[in-house]
Every structure is written in structure tokens, then in C-alpha cells.
Structure 1
């Protein structure tokens, strides 16, 4: 796929998170739905989804990143189809994740031999008022108690971070357990200024992924947004 639509900036092969992971490739782009044209899907060979221009531009940008990341990893670029559960369908032996938010999209991929699961999520930082409204829906009682000890500014950032990391956790584990779970089914145990985080499951998803299992995550802040990643190593739980 050589063509790049005008609605997307040149694809960027980079690592905007604090800890590089061996064998993982991340590709991103910025996109503008106002520049999307009907021909962009024909040009790129990506099936056009239903929805408004914003939704279509998000889909196109995310799939372009996924195609490029797969090509970097395997030498063969494919476009992940949409499964019946609406999740991307990655090639056999490949883990991957796609995210998009406010004109930025990215995809991350790795071989199963290195990483069994990957979850990537980008969120715009919440304002204090909205974070306060959403905290009860996103945080567990234990997380709410820890939140109350923080300043108002740090509370908004912590609610955003918890939301994003739980989204990344879901994306990383869903392909392994094929079972949906929600914000109340995991908790953020700790996060550090260096961008590291630790989460714990509060639900039994499978004999392997049971309540009490802990996973590591990482995150970074840039351009008013928060990017998080949860990666399941190939030797974890096996």
C-alpha cells in the first residue's frame, strides 16, 4: 500500500512510551476528517465502514497504521478485518491493538512468540469537572479512596489514566479470554511519575486470568492526551 490519503499525515514509526518493548512495532498518524474523500478507501484498498466522516476517518487512519505496522513486523502488510465482536482480526500468530482519539491514530503489533496480548489506548485528558462526574463509573471503591487523597488537578489526571489503562487492559486480554469485562472488574494499584503502572483483575475471566492476577502497564503524556499500553509477555501465565 503506497498511497496515503490527504486526510492523514505521513506515517510515523516511533515509540512515544517510556519503555521500549522488544519485538513490538508502533505506527501512528494524525488525521483530519474534513479532508476525507470517498475515493480514499478505494485508493488504499481499505473497506469503507458505515458512519459519519469522523468515524470513517478514524477507521481509515487506524487501519493504515495497522497495515504499516504489520508490514514492518512481518514484511507483509494486511488490513485487519472487523470481527463479529467488532474487534480487529489480526493475522495468525500476531497480537495487535488500534487506538484513535482527537485526530491521532496508532496501531501496535508483535508476534505471539514475544507478546501474547497488546492493548493500546489514547485519551484526551479530562477536565476536573468531567473527571469528577465520571469517577464513580470508572473507579472502584478502593480507587476512589486513593483519589480523594489527591489534589483536584491530579484527580483529573488519575481518572483519565485509570480509564485509559483499563481500556488497554481490556484490549490486551479480550483476545485471550473472549469474555467482556468492565471498569469495576479491574483496579489500578499504582502508577509512577516514570510512566509505569500496575493493575489487578477483580474477576475470574478464565482459569489462567483469575481474580488477583496482576499486570504491568505504561503510559505517557503528550499534546494534551494520555497514551497507555498493557502488554502480556509470552511467558506470562504459561
Structure 2
């Protein structure tokens, strides 16, 4: 097993604390905080992370979040089964995992995380991290993200939960896409799923509103979970094998 390169100065030591309400057995989730202002020009090389041309041309923030996410992913794969590989970017922009692995990478302001598992335990994993929207922005974006029934439930709910609800709906639909797209190989959008219910304990119930395959049909329901910390919301959709 090759030794893992030292972390770049822009990343904090990797955190193995499970940040969500329900621990997934047989999965590894690692996270880090990153500071783009501390990114050095040779950090990718010293971290032994391949940098795609599109990332090379990007600003420091995009480079730092990509590097931090790939470092989390590689360390999670190493912890899971001794694989010292960093997933490349596929033609569809999604990470390319080893054939027997499912995983997800996410990042938002100053924080990145990755989760991996073997496909014989979990068929699909989708994880998404978002900064909590403020109430004004949430209200502006609600019509783009929420279905009519979701908008109706939002209007009937507490005003002080509006920003959380819109952020959660956005995030959990992103997680759903990340979990299902590798399985169905078909793109779908915010209007093709809806949040049926959620609890402050971090439980979410989702329903598909379109046929994606013979297995994943309109009306199929799935569970998700989320947690909020430091004004950021992390959501996870996990599909059992």
C-alpha cells in the first residue's frame, strides 16, 4: 500500500465524525475544511492528485474545493479497502469510481466531504452540501426548485422555516440525482421529484415524479437524511443493494 501524501496547507486534517442523524453501515464518510487563500501552485502535484485541464484554468476557490474533495475521496477509498486512487472526472462531470464502488463527493464554502461504499452493500450514494439560504433568496428561488405541492406545503408552514425548507429541498434533490444517475444513466431535474415530508430530526421522504427506468418509476418513494451545522446543510440519499 502506497503511503498517502501529506495534506496540503489549505486543508484541515480529515474528520471521520459522522455528521448525519443515521450512520450508514459499511460506508466511509470523511470531510475537511479548506481555505483557498492557502492553496499553493504545486499542491496538486505534492498531493498526487491529477488536475483536469478545466480545473487548472479555474480560480483558486474551484481548485481548492476540487482538491479537498478528491483528497477526502481517496482517503475514504483507502480506509474502505486500501485503494489509493482518486476518482477522475467523467464525460458527464461525475466522479469515476472503481467498478465495484459507489460514492459521492460534495463541497460548499470552505468544506468538502466524500462518502464511499461497496456496491454489494449500497447501490447508490448521493451527498450534497449547501450553504443555508437566507429567507429573501429562498423565497426568490422557491418557484424554480419546488413543485406546486411543495410550494403549497411551504405556504402552509411556518415562515421561519422557509429558508431551511427551500435549502433542504434543493440539496436533497441534488443528492437524489447523484445517487440515481449512475444507476439509471438518465438526467432528471428538480421538477421530477418532490419532498413528501421531513422532520427536524433529519428524516426526509422523497417521491419520483417521472419514469427513469423500468425499476425507477413515477411514484417510487425513497428515504433521505440531512443535518445542519455552521449554517450549512448536508443531505444524503442512500440506496441499499
Indicate the TM-score class for this superposition, using the shorter chain for normalisation: over 0.9
Q: Which runs of 5+ in 2 are unaligned?
A: none
Q: Take 2:75 and 2:232, find their aligned partners in 1: how far apart are those partners?
A: 23
Matched, 1:131 2:138: yes
Superposed, 1:39-54 pairs within 5 Å as 39-48=42-51, 49-50=55-56, 51-54=58-61
> What TM-score does the superposition give when structure 1 sets the normalisation length?
0.97
Matched, 1:13 2:16: yes
Cα deviation code 1:108-166 (max 9, x no counterpart): 00000100000000111110000000000000000000000122220111000000000
Matching residue of 1:26: 29
Matching residue of 2:181: 174
The match for 1:189 among 196, 200, 211 is 196
Secondary structure of 1:148's partner? Answer: helix
Matched, 1:219 2:226: yes
The match for 1:83 among 90, 103, 118 is 90
Q: Take 1:151 and 1:86, find their aligned partners in 2: how far apart are those partners?
A: 37
Matched, 1:153 2:160: yes
Matched, 1:56 2:59: no
Contact 2:28 2:76 in 1 (8 A): yes
Matching residue of 2:216: 209
> What TM-score does the superposition give when structure 2 sets the normalisation length?
0.96
Superposed, 1:112-127 pairs within 5 Å as 112-127=119-134
Q: Take 2:18 and 2:27, find their aligned partners in 1: how far apart are those partners?
A: 9
Secondary structure of 1:96's partner? Answer: strand
> Alignment RMSD, CA only?
0.7
Secondary structure of 2:140's partner? Answer: helix
Q: Which runs of 5+ in 1 are unaligned?
A: none
Kindly tell me the number of residue pairs found equivalent between the two proteins.
234
Matching residue of 2:240: 233
1:82 Cα deviation (Å)?
0.5
1:6 Cα deviation (Å)?
0.3
Matched, 1:67 2:74: yes
Q: Take 1:157 and 1:118, find their aligned partners in 2: how far apart are those partners?
A: 23
1:70 Cα deviation (Å)?
0.3
Secondary structure of 2:195's partner? Answer: strand
1:38 Cα deviation (Å)?
1.0
Q: Take 1:198 and 1:94, find their aligned partners in 2: how far apart are those partners?
A: 25
1:99 Cα deviation (Å)?
0.3
